[in-house]
Amino acid sequence: MTDVNETTAPWRVYLYGAGSIAWRHGVAAESLGHDVQLFAADPSRNAREALLAKFPKATVYEDAEAMLASSAGQQRDIVVIAVPPCLHHAATLLAFQSNRHVLCEKPLATSEIEMAEMLAAADSSGRIFGECSFRYLGNGALDRARQLIETGGIGSVYHARFINRQPRSRAGIEYQPSSKWFLDKKKSGGGTIFDWGVYDLTMFFDVLRPVAATVNNAWLATPTTGADPSEPPISVETHAGATLTLTLEDGTVVPFDWERASGFHGDPQVALNVDGTTGALTWEWVPTFDYKDQVDEAKEGFKLVHYADVDGKVDAREEKFPAFGWEDANQRPLLSFVDLIEGRESLALSRSRLEFNFGVVSAIYKCAAEGKPVHVQLK
């Protein structure tokens, strides 16, 4: 679809929701140029006033439908869906009906049925659809890891592992405690899998580039703690894991062990490994939560370690890549989505990868519920 003056018109960014994550997209929008136009809609007066305090030039609405009906959609219009996951489906359909591109926060949807209808709406509108699980890409360590794997730098890959066990880091309790909707499955769609698992898989799949995945086993748990709120009762998982079999582009079949915890009783652990017949890899991929460490990390860069055998002994070869902070990561989805719309090289996921990644996330939930393997194929 081509619009008149599509390359000279100002970008217009419509924030569907005015909470904390919307603010990050607002900051990204401001970096698009001095003439960018920012709009936001939220039924909460406090949310609207807080957003206006940060972005005085923004135009705010109480009703999102009124915001989208305020003018005709243009090629340089983007609606950012920044509301709880239970609202993503309806908000996305409404945004596409307004003839605008749509960037949806993660998780993309609460079911594959919703995702299919959202993609169909994108097709009908002729506009572009994106989501935000790729915000931690753009890390040179990932590109280097992929290069080493593709060029045989670690031999044939035979195993991969990702573990991140944090005893107390639950959304809605230990962080963003005011956002209790994270704890309600009807609103959030799920727990730690939707909150962080989508990032884990997007990052790992960016390196390994699987064309198929089978979730062989999966489990979910919600250990109780003395900090649990009585209202709402926690109805999402805070500890989850799965064993998968990934088929790579060259036909290699790789067992993949994944585990993520935001609330459980045990020791914290973080492990990321890709094991090959002649070497192995591990790398850093997100900023640290500790401010001092984050400053040091920004100076030193993200680390990748390439393990290899030298004369019968393990040799660890360390490389450093430019680091980024949380704010950089939070601004990346909108800026990369603009690149995608403009036809430039972009970190935004392709449609096939977007569907595949969400399909694997959904397969983990389905396998845990039904106790049967679930297969997902890249289209």
Report the pLDDT value the prediction gives residue 176, as an integer from 0 to 100.
92
- Of 79, 67, 86, 64, which Cα lies nearest the Cα of 129? 79
User: Which residue, 86, 111, 131, sits at the end of a domain?
Assistant: 131
Label residue 239 by pLDDT band (50, 70, 90). very high
233 in the same domain as 303: yes
- Of 124, 127, 122, which Cα lies nearest the Cα of 108? 122
Q: CATH code at 222?
A: 3.30.360.10
Per DSSP bridges, beta strands 253-261 and 129-131 are unpaired
187 in the same domain as 125: no
Report the pLDDT value the prediction gives residue 4, as an integer from 0 to 100.
43
User: Which residue, 107, 131, 155, sits at the end of a domain?
Assistant: 131
pLDDT of residue 8 exceeding 90: no
What is the DSSP annotation of 143-200? Answer: HHHHHHHHTTTT-SEEEEEEEEE-TB--BTTTBSTT-GGGG-HHHHS-SHIIIIIHHH
Q: Tell me how far apart the alpha carbons of residues 306 and 148 are, in angstroms, rounded to a whole number.
A: 9
Report the pLDDT value the prediction gives residue 62, as an integer from 0 to 100.
97
59 in the same domain as 76: yes
Label residue 287 by pLDDT band (50, 70, 90). confident
Q: Tens digit of pLDDT for each residue in 33-83?
A: 889 999 999 999 999 999 999 999 999 999 999 999 999 999 999 999 999
Report the pLDDT value the prediction gives residue 274, as an integer from 0 to 100.
98
Label residue 1 by pLDDT band (50, 70, 90). very low
Q: Tens digit of pLDDT for each residue in 299-323?
A: 678 999 999 999 999 999 999 999 9
153 in the same domain as 125: no
Q: Tens digit of pLDDT for each residue in 320-378?
A: 999 998 999 999 999 999 999 999 999 999 999 999 999 999 999 999 999 999 999 99
124 in the same domain as 144: no
User: Which residue, 100, 131, 162, sits at the end of a domain?
Assistant: 131
pTM: 0.94
Report the pLDDT value the prediction gives residue 83, as an integer from 0 to 100.
97
Length of the chain in terms of residues written: 379
Q: Tell me how far apart the alpha carbons of residues 104 and 326 are, in angstroms, rounded to a whole number.
A: 19
126 in the same domain as 163: no
Report the pLDDT value the prediction gives residue 295, as an integer from 0 to 100.
55
354 in the same domain as 279: yes
Residue 305 lies in a domain: yes
- CA distances to 18, 175, 196, 318, 357 from 364, in Å: 31, 25, 14, 34, 11
Q: Tell me how far apart the alpha carbons of residues 193 and 107 are, in angstroms, rounded to a whole number.
A: 9
Q: CATH code at 117?
A: 3.40.50.720
Cis peptide before 107 (omega within 30 of 0): yes
Q: Tens digit of pLDDT for each residue in 183-237?
A: 999 999 999 999 999 999 999 999 999 999 999 999 999 999 999 999 999 999 9
Q: Tens digit of pLDDT for each residue in 129-176?
A: 999 999 999 999 999 999 999 999 999 999 999 999 999 999 999 999
157 in the same domain as 72: no
| Structural contact between residues 239 and 192, judged by C-beta atoms closer than 8 angstroms | yes
Instruction: Please provide residue 237's backbone torsions phi and psi, each rounded to the nearest 5 degrees.
Output: -75, 140
Report the pLDDT value the prediction gives residue 275, as an integer from 0 to 100.
98
Label residue 2 by pLDDT band (50, 70, 90). very low
Could you give the number of structural domains in the chain? 2
Residue 6 lies in a domain: no
